[in-house]
Amino acid sequence: MILSRASLRRIALTLLLLSVSATHAAEPYTPASPDTVLLQRAPGAAKALRLLRGAQPGLDAESPLTAVQAAIAEGHRSGDPRYFGQAQALLGRAWLAPAPASPARLLRAMLKQQRHDFAGALADLDAVLAAEPGNAQARLVRANIRLVQGEPLSARGDCAALIGHAGFLVIATCIGTVDGLSGKAASAVQTIEAALAREPDALSGIRIWALTQAAEIAERLGDLPRATEHYAKALAEAEAAGENDVYLKAAHADFLLDQQRAGEVKATLAAETDFDPLLLRLALAEQQLAQAGDAAAKNAVVGHLKDLQTRFALTASRGDPPHWREQTMTALYLQADAKAALQLAQHNWAEQREPADARLLLSAALAAQDKSAAQPVLDWMQQTRIEDVRLQALAAKLRAMP
Partner 1 sequence: MRVFARFALLLASATGIAQAHSGSTAYLQATVSGANLQLRADYALSDLDDALGIDADGDGQLTWAELQAATPALLAYLTPRLSVEADGVPCPLTANPAVQVADHADGPYAVVQFSSQCQGEPAEWRLTDTALFEFDASHRALLRWQQGSETSSATLSPERNSLLLSGPRGSQATLRDYFHEGLAHVWSGWDHMLFIAGLFLAAALRREHGRWQPVPRLGPALADAAKLVTAFTIAHAITLCLTALGMVSLPSRFVESLVALSVLFAGLNNLVPMVERRALFALAWVFGLIHGTAIAGALLELGLPTSGRLLALLGFNLGVEAAQLLLVLLLVPLAFALRHWRAYVPAVLWPGSALVALAGLIWFIDRAFAMEWALPI
CB atoms inside a 10 Å sphere around CB 96: 9
Q: Considering only residues 26 through 65, tell me which ones interact with partner 1, judged by CB under 8 A.
A: 26-31, 33-44, 46-47, 49-50, 53
Q: Does 179 bind partner 1 (CB under 8 A)?
A: no
DSSP 330-369: IIIIIS--HHHHHHHHHHHHHH---HHHHHHHHHHHHHTT
Per rule CB under 8 A, count of chain residues that contact partner 1: 113
- In 3D space, the residue among 369, 361, 368, 370 whose CA is nearest the CA of residue 390 turns out to be 361
Measured CA to CA, the distance from residue 107 to residue 128 in angstroms comes to: 10
Q: Does 287 bind partner 1 (CB under 8 A)?
A: no
Give the interface segment with partner 1, choosing from 14-22, 182-190, 225-233, 394-402 (CB under 8 A): 14-22
Measured CA to CA, the distance from residue 157 to residue 146 in angstroms comes to: 11
Q: Considering only residues 73 through 92, tell me which ones interact with partner 1, judged by CB under 8 A.
A: 73, 76-77, 79-82, 84-86, 88-89
In the complex, the smallest distance separating the C-beta of residue 230 from partner 1, rounded to whole angstroms, is: 12
Q: Considering only residues 341 through 360, tell me which ones interact with partner 1, judged by CB under 8 A.
A: 352, 354, 356-357
Spatial contact of 335 and 301, defined as CB atoms under 8 Å apart:
no
Q: Does 324 bind partner 1 (CB under 8 A)?
A: no
Q: How far is CA 364 from the centre of its chain?
A: 20
Give 254's Cβ-side CA count (13 Å radius): 21
Measured CA to CA, the distance from residue 343 to residue 361 in angstroms comes to: 9
In the complex, the smallest distance separating the C-beta of residue 293 from partner 1, rounded to whole angstroms, is: 24
Among 259, 369, 375, 383, binds partner 1 (CB under 8 A): 369
- Asked whether the CA dihedral 350, 258, 81, 149 is positive or negative, the reply is negative
Q: Give the Cα-Cα-Cα angle 269, 265, 217 (nearest 5 degrees).
A: 110
Q: Which is nearer to partner 1, 92 or 183 (CB)?
A: 92
Q: Considering only residues 110 through 149, tell me which ones interact with partner 1, judged by CB under 8 A.
A: 110, 113-116, 136-137, 140-141, 144, 147-148
Among 209, 255, 333, 349, binds partner 1 (CB under 8 A): 209
In the complex, the smallest distance separating the C-beta of residue 194 from partner 1, rounded to whole angstroms, is: 18
Spatial contact of 205 and 243, defined as CB atoms under 8 Å apart:
yes
Q: Does 206 bind partner 1 (CB under 8 A)?
A: yes
Q: How far is CA 375 from the centre of its chain?
A: 24
Q: Considering only residues 241 through 280, tell me which ones interact with partner 1, judged by CB under 8 A.
A: 243, 245-248, 250, 274-278
Q: Which is nearer to partner 1, 308 or 378 (CB)?
A: 308
In the complex, the smallest distance separating the C-beta of residue 160 from partner 1, rounded to whole angstroms, is: 16
Give the interface segment with partner 1, choosing from 170-178, 255-263, 296-304, 390-398 (CB under 8 A): 170-178
